[in-house]
Structure 1
Amino acid sequence: MSSARRVLVGLALVGLSVTLGLAVAVSLFLTSSRTVVLVGHDTVVRPTLGGDAVVQTGPLLPDLRFRDVGPVGVELALGKTEVGSIEELVERYALIAGDPTAPIDKVGSVVVDMAVSAALRGVAVGLLPVAVFLLLGRHRRGELFRGLRTRQGAFGGVLLLALPVLVWQPWESRERTQEDQGEWQTLAELAGPDVVLPEEVRALEVRTGPVTTQSRRLVLSAIDTYDRSKEFYSTAAEGAADLDLRAAEEGETVAVLVSDRHDNIGMDRVARAIGDRVGATVVLNAGDDTSTGAPWEAFSLDSVTAAFEDWERFAVAGNHDHGTFVSTYFADQGWTMLDGEVVAAPWGGTLLGVDDPRSSGLGNWRDESGLSFAEMGDRLADAACAAAEDGERVSTVLVHDANLGNEALDRGCVDLVVGGHTHVQDGPEIVVGDDGAIGYTWTNGTTGGAAYAIALGSKPRRDADVSLITYADGRPTGLQWVRLRTDGAWVVGDWSPIVPS
């Protein structure tokens, strides 16, 4: 074979490989889907080339469409969730829409992952002709091409070309559905000229039709909740930048302590704004991020993760975070879940913590069922005192209920115990251990402004608290609480110096 012919054959082979691989990759990408937990639902994500994002909400609520979201569009089919009523569901959507960063980022990462997966499969299929070409060798390739000139070979070639068409079946038609009969209207058109809408949602489109006769009433209710929620929490986040707080000084590290969020994602950007005001770089999460610990509440975990994505993040599960879902989900998203082992802390000291024993996540001891609160406290104290004997005194114990760290304080093995659970701020309280060592205990109020285990709403149901912990030379040196009242007013506590032994 001449050199020119070899080049032509090589170019043809590369062209076939690239074309086949690209066709397979695009086809797989556009026909692929992933099921994730989004806005409280089991949601099927499907990419499209339409450039729009369409949210299919199910048979009772109108579908939504966001135009021109990018070169690749997406369809989101919402599935199962837990909800008490349609009105409650609509309110949940409105509150999530008030700060949609986390679900948008999640959908984007899922679509990118599907694109990468499809591309890898396309590359694999595209390399198939090259592999066959090389494996056949010159002699067998010659026989194959000569065989194509026969009647039998020609028939086989036709069948090979017909195979993709038989798989594709472009002649198939689908029955016209009620969804096809719906029309897309912008919110401005649906609401009418007498309703003042937030500028950012006027272009959002809603599919109306025979199955959504109450669309206008539900949508207007959601808009009202969205508007009030976004205004309240956005104003609060902006106001946090002007609070009179003690900022981190040279050589100091400040950690933001949050607890008992109970699904209130609106407070996440407020807590982050408070942290930014003082130069914080660490978040300590004392648990009860959910109300039931169920997968539908993943939207709350996504939100707090997005809010503190570039910080050092540590957490424990609270008593309302039932089961292992919350701990596992957080760990998959890059949080350090404390499990009864002493770990290095970003401020140069050490940190210890464990999930609340009243949930079923019990850290290293979860295989021991039936441990009481007191027994868990003893285990925690044993770990802290063992570290102290090794010359690594624990600077902070992070638990859901600060009482879980009482035994460790009584033995004089820790500097500071922090938690939440009671929804009422308390401390700092000095505890003198058996050996005269001094430690402190501090309880944060409810960051979500939760009444009982419920915090969802267009504003906190009760005062919402965030605590700031200052560290220097690996040990805590001061505490300060910040409170957002239900009327949007701020109350700031004095910075309280602490001097542990």
Structure 2
Amino acid sequence: MSLPRRVLVGVLLACLAVALGVTVAVSLFLTSSRTVVLVGHDTVVRPTLADDAVVQTGPLLPDLRIRDVGPVGVTLALGKTEVGSVEELVERYALIAGDPTAPVEKVKGVVVDMAVSAALRGLAVGLVPVAVYLLLGRHRRGELFRGIRSRQGVVALVLLLVLPVLVWQPWEADEETQEEQGAWQTLAELAGPDVVLPEEVRDVEVRVGPVTTQSKRLVLSAIDTYDRSKEFYSAAAEGAADLDVREPEEGETVALVVSDRHDNIGMDRVARAIGEAAGASVVLDAGDDTSTGQPWEAFSLDSLSATFDDWDRYAVAGNHDNGPFVSTYLADQGWTMLDGEVVDAPWGGTLLGVDDPRSSGLGSWRDETGLSFDEVGERLADAACSAAEDSERVSTVLVHDANLGREALRRGCVDLVLGGHTHVQAGPDAVEGEDGATGWTWTNGTTGGAAYAIAIGSKPRRDADVSLVTYADGRPTGLQWVRLRTDGSWLVGDWSPVTPLP
């Protein structure tokens, strides 16, 4: 074969491969779906050629549509969730919408992943003709092309061309559904001229065909909750920048302590703003990020991870983070989940922690069942004292309930124990241990402003706390609490110096 002919054949094969690959990739992408946990629901994500985002909420609530979201649209079909009433469900939607960054980024990531997967499969299919051409060789290709001119070859070629049409079946059409009969109406049109809406939601559209008066009331109630929630937490985040908190001196590292969030994602940006005002670069999560530890609460973990994605992140699970879901989910999102082993800390010291034994894990002892709270505390103290004997004294123990670290303090093996659980701030309290050693214990309040295990609301149900820990030369040197009150005002505690011994 001459060189020009080889070039021509190569170009034709490349064009065929590209055309086939792109066709298959686009087809796979537009017909693909992915199930993820989103806004508390098992949600089926499907990409579309429209540039709209459509949220299908099910039979009880109207569907929503946001126009012009990008070059690729998406349909989100909400499935099962755990909720006590429709009103509670709508309120949850409104609160999540108050800070939608995490779910939006999650959907974007899913769509991009689906596009990459479809592209790789399309590439593989596109290379099939090239591989077949090369495998046949010149002699067999000649026989094949000569065979096409025969009657049998023509029949085979026709069947080959008809096969994709039989698979596609373009003559099949779906019946017109109730959903398609509904018309889209903006929230501003639905609410009427007498209702003042936030500017950012006026153009969100609702499918109004089957919307009843009760559904309209729920929608307007959700908008009111959204507006109050966004206003409260936005004002709090802005106000946090001006708080009189201690800033780190040269050589110091500040860690932000959060605990008992109980799904209140509105406080995440507020906590971040407090940390930034104090120069924090580390977040220590003492657990109870959820109320039940179930997958529907992934929205809370998504928000927490997105808020602190560029910080050093360490966490343990609390007693309400029941089961393995919370620890596994946060670990998959890049958090260092403390599991009873001493780890190096960003401030130059060492860090030790373990999940609450009343919840999900028991660190390196998790294969053992039936260990009591005190037994886990003994194991934690053993790990801390073993590290101290190796000249790696633990600067901080992070647990959900500070009482889990009392044995380690009694033995004089740790500098500081951090916890939460009680929803009431306490400390710093010095604890004199063996051989003249002194450690400290500190309990953070509830960062979510939770009453019992419930924190979701347009504002905190009770005062919401975070704590700031200052480290120097690998050891804690001071503590400070910051409290957002339910009326939006602030209380800032004095910076309390701590001096662990030896």
Q: TM-score range by the shorter chain?
A: over 0.9
- Between the aligned partners of 1:88 and 1:123, the Cα distance in structure 2 is 46
Structure 1 segments unaligned to the other structure (5+ residues): none
Matches within 5 A, 1:258-407: 258-407=258-407
Asked if the contact 1:241–1:273 (Cα under 8 Å) also holds between the matched residues in 2, the reply is: yes
**Aligned residue in 2 for 1:10:** 10
SS of residue in 2 equivalent to 1:435 = helix
**Aligned residue in 2 for 1:248:** 248
Asked if the contact 1:60–1:212 (Cα under 8 Å) also holds between the matched residues in 2, the reply is: no
Over residues 347-381 of structure 1, what are the superposed CA-to-partner deviations in whole Å (9 max), with x where a residue is unaligned? Answer: 00000000000013222111111100000000000
Asked if the contact 2:33–2:46 (Cα under 8 Å) also holds between the matched residues in 1, the reply is: yes
**Aligned residue in 2 for 1:202:** 202
- Between the aligned partners of 1:357 and 1:212, the Cα distance in structure 2 is 48
Deviation, structure 1 residue 215: 2.6
SS of residue in 2 equivalent to 1:11 = helix
Asked if the contact 1:467–1:479 (Cα under 8 Å) also holds between the matched residues in 2, the reply is: yes
Matches within 5 A, 1:81-96: 81-96=81-96
Residue identity matched to 1:127: L
Residue identity matched to 1:234: S
SS of residue in 2 equivalent to 1:262 = coil
**Aligned residue in 1 for 2:44:** 44
Over residues 321-349 of structure 1, what are the superposed CA-to-partner deviations in whole Å (9 max), with x where a residue is unaligned? Answer: 00000000000000000000000000000
- Between the aligned partners of 1:181 and 1:3, the Cα distance in structure 2 is 61
Q: Does 1:35 align with 2:7?
A: no
**Aligned residue in 2 for 1:500:** 500
Over residues 216-267 of structure 1, what are the superposed CA-to-partner deviations in whole Å (9 max), with x where a residue is unaligned? Answer: 2111000000000000000000000000000111111100000000000000
Residue identity matched to 2:441: T
SS of residue in 2 equivalent to 1:235 = helix
- Worse overlay, 168-177 or 485-494: 168-177
- Between the aligned partners of 1:244 and 1:11, the Cα distance in structure 2 is 69
Matches within 5 A, 1:174-193: 174-193=174-193
Over residues 241-294 of structure 1, what are the superposed CA-to-partner deviations in whole Å (9 max), with x where a residue is unaligned? Answer: 000000111111100000000000000000000011111110000000000000
Residue identity matched to 1:408: A
Deviation, structure 1 residue 317: 0.2
Asked if the contact 2:317–2:360 (Cα under 8 Å) also holds between the matched residues in 1, the reply is: no
Deviation, structure 1 residue 210: 2.3
Report the identity percentage: 83
**Aligned residue in 2 for 1:113:** 113
Output the aligned Cα RMSD: 0.7
**Aligned residue in 2 for 1:417:** 417
Residue identity matched to 2:222: A
Asked if the contact 1:59–1:211 (Cα under 8 Å) also holds between the matched residues in 2, the reply is: no
**Aligned residue in 1 for 2:53:** 53
- Between the aligned partners of 2:93 and 2:250, the Cα distance in structure 1 is 43
Residue identity matched to 2:243: L
Asked if the contact 1:437–1:500 (Cα under 8 Å) also holds between the matched residues in 2, the reply is: yes
Q: How many residues of Structure 1 are paired with residues of Structure 2 in the alignment?
A: 501
SS of residue in 1 equivalent to 2:321 = coil
SS of residue in 1 equivalent to 2:480 = strand
Deviation, structure 1 residue 6: 1.3
Asked if the contact 1:61–1:212 (Cα under 8 Å) also holds between the matched residues in 2, the reply is: no
- Between the aligned partners of 1:260 and 1:338, the Cα distance in structure 2 is 17
**Aligned residue in 2 for 1:451:** 451
Residue identity matched to 1:11: V
Matches within 5 A, 1:112-261: 112-210=112-210, 212-261=212-261
Q: Does 1:74 align with 2:66?
A: no
- Between the aligned partners of 2:48 and 2:477, the Cα distance in structure 1 is 54
Residue identity matched to 2:427: G
Asked if the contact 2:339–2:354 (Cα under 8 Å) also holds between the matched residues in 1, the reply is: yes
Deviation, structure 1 residue 213: 4.6
Deviation, structure 1 residue 8: 1.1
SS of residue in 2 equivalent to 1:415 = strand
TM-score by length of 2: 0.99
- Between the aligned partners of 2:107 and 2:158, the Cα distance in structure 1 is 42
Deviation, structure 1 residue 214: 2.6
- Between the aligned partners of 1:306 and 1:262, the Cα distance in structure 2 is 17
- Between the aligned partners of 2:200 and 2:361, the Cα distance in structure 1 is 41
- Between the aligned partners of 2:364 and 2:116, the Cα distance in structure 1 is 36
Structure 2 segments unaligned to the other structure (5+ residues): none
Runs of 4+ in 1 over 3 A off after TM superposition: none
Residue identity matched to 2:352: L
SS of residue in 2 equivalent to 1:431 = strand
Deviation, structure 1 residue 64: 0.5
SS of residue in 2 equivalent to 1:214 = helix
- Between the aligned partners of 2:248 and 2:24, the Cα distance in structure 1 is 54
- Between the aligned partners of 1:68 and 1:76, the Cα distance in structure 2 is 15
Matches within 5 A, 1:435-450: 435-450=435-450
- Between the aligned partners of 1:286 and 1:432, the Cα distance in structure 2 is 24
- Between the aligned partners of 1:3 and 1:200, the Cα distance in structure 2 is 62
Asked if the contact 1:402–1:420 (Cα under 8 Å) also holds between the matched residues in 2, the reply is: yes
Over residues 181-227 of structure 1, what are the superposed CA-to-partner deviations in whole Å (9 max), with x where a residue is unaligned? Answer: 11111100000000000001001011112254533211100000000
- Worse overlay, 281-290 or 167-176: 167-176
Matches within 5 A, 1:484-495: 484-495=484-495
- Between the aligned partners of 1:442 and 1:4, the Cα distance in structure 2 is 80
- Worse overlay, 156-165 or 315-324: 156-165
SS of residue in 2 equivalent to 1:397 = strand
Deviation, structure 1 residue 432: 0.6
- Between the aligned partners of 2:339 and 2:157, the Cα distance in structure 1 is 63
Deviation, structure 1 residue 148: 0.7
Asked if the contact 2:36–2:44 (Cα under 8 Å) also holds between the matched residues in 1, the reply is: yes
Residue identity matched to 1:442: W
Over residues 136-156 of structure 1, what are the superposed CA-to-partner deviations in whole Å (9 max), with x where a residue is unaligned? Answer: 000000000111111110111
